[in-house]
Amino acid sequence: MSLQLSSNAPNFTQDSTNGTLNFYEYLGDSWGILFSHPKDFTPVCTTELGSVAKLEDEFEKRDVKVVALSVDSRESHEAWIKDINETQNTEVNFPIIADEDRTVAEAYGMIHPEASDTLTVRSVFIIDPKKKIRLTLTYPAPTGRNFEEILRALDGLQLTDQHLVATPANWKNGDNVIILPSIQDKDELAARFPKGYEELTSYLRITAQPET
């Protein structure tokens, strides 16, 4: 059975380019993004890991630790990182898991036999500080991921946790947000949203994005 939203993220200890890595210990109290790529020394994956490396400051700003994974060896990862750094003009500092025995890939359902019975698909898991899975994405092998969209979704999740708001379609950081329907008490609404809100319907209430 595949992992679902709010499932506990499986812990693991596995070899990586940063040495032996225990996932829970590495994350600590931070948010985490675990993403898999099908194979080292492939063109789309090279651009993806380069893109993630360039967003290092953005992830740090959001207290997010990033971990990549494939079923290739640590030695392969280390050799490939040199290519990524050179061709993408960046420096990969986040760990890449060497999941040669597929322990992590199988625990997270990253291998889809109809696509490939040996290689991982392009999976993404956003994991909160309580080690709960908050978002999952799956891309086919030929399609590169949009990590700006992953950052956008992460901003929305963190905003929801802090302020009990939801983000509308095509929301970007700084846009208006939606008050959760679960908040009905007038005093609580006034305390949480001092700038007021617009009630379009009884269930659709728009307010300015709270300060983060």
Single residue among 113, 144, 175 that ends a domain in this structure: 144
For residue 85, what pLDDT is reported?
A: 98
Closest CA to 124 of 16, 52, 20: 52
**Rounded distance, CA 74 to CA 121, Å?**
19
**Rounded distance, CA 198 to CA 92, Å?**
45
Q: Does residue 33 belong to any structural domain of this protein?
A: yes
Range of the domain at 83: 13-144
Quote the DSSP letter at residue 132. B
**Rounded distance, CA 31 to CA 67, Å?**
11
For residue 1, what pLDDT is reported?
A: 47
Contact 193, 151 (CB under 8 A): no
Say if residue 30 is in the same domain as residue 122. yes
For residue 140, what pLDDT is reported?
A: 84
For residue 79, what pLDDT is reported?
A: 97
Say if residue 122 is in the same domain as residue 19. yes
φ/ψ (deg, to 5) at 18? -105, 20
Give the CATH number, domain containing residue 92: 3.40.30.10
Say if residue 49 is in the same domain as residue 117. yes
pLDDT values of the chain reduced to their tens digit, one per residue, 212 residues: 478 888 999 999 999 999 999 999 999 999 999 999 988 999 999 999 999 999 999 999 999 999 999 999 999 999 999 999 999 999 999 999 999 999 999 999 887 655 555 566 689 999 999 999 999 999 888 889 999 999 999 999 999 999 999 999 999 999 999 999 999 988 999 999 998 999 999 899 999 999 76
Say if residue 125 is in the same domain as residue 188. no
For residue 189, what pLDDT is reported?
A: 92
Say if residue 140 is in the same domain as residue 185. no
Q: Does residue 149 belong to any structural domain of this protein?
A: no
Say if residue 74 is in the same domain as residue 177. no
Q: Does residue 199 belong to any structural domain of this protein?
A: yes
Please state the domain count of the chain. Answer: 2
Say if residue 73 is in the same domain as residue 129. yes
Catalytic residues: 45
For residue 31, what pLDDT is reported?
A: 98
Cα–Cα distances (Å) from 54 to 30, 50, 93, 125, 160, in that order, read 20, 6, 10, 19, 26
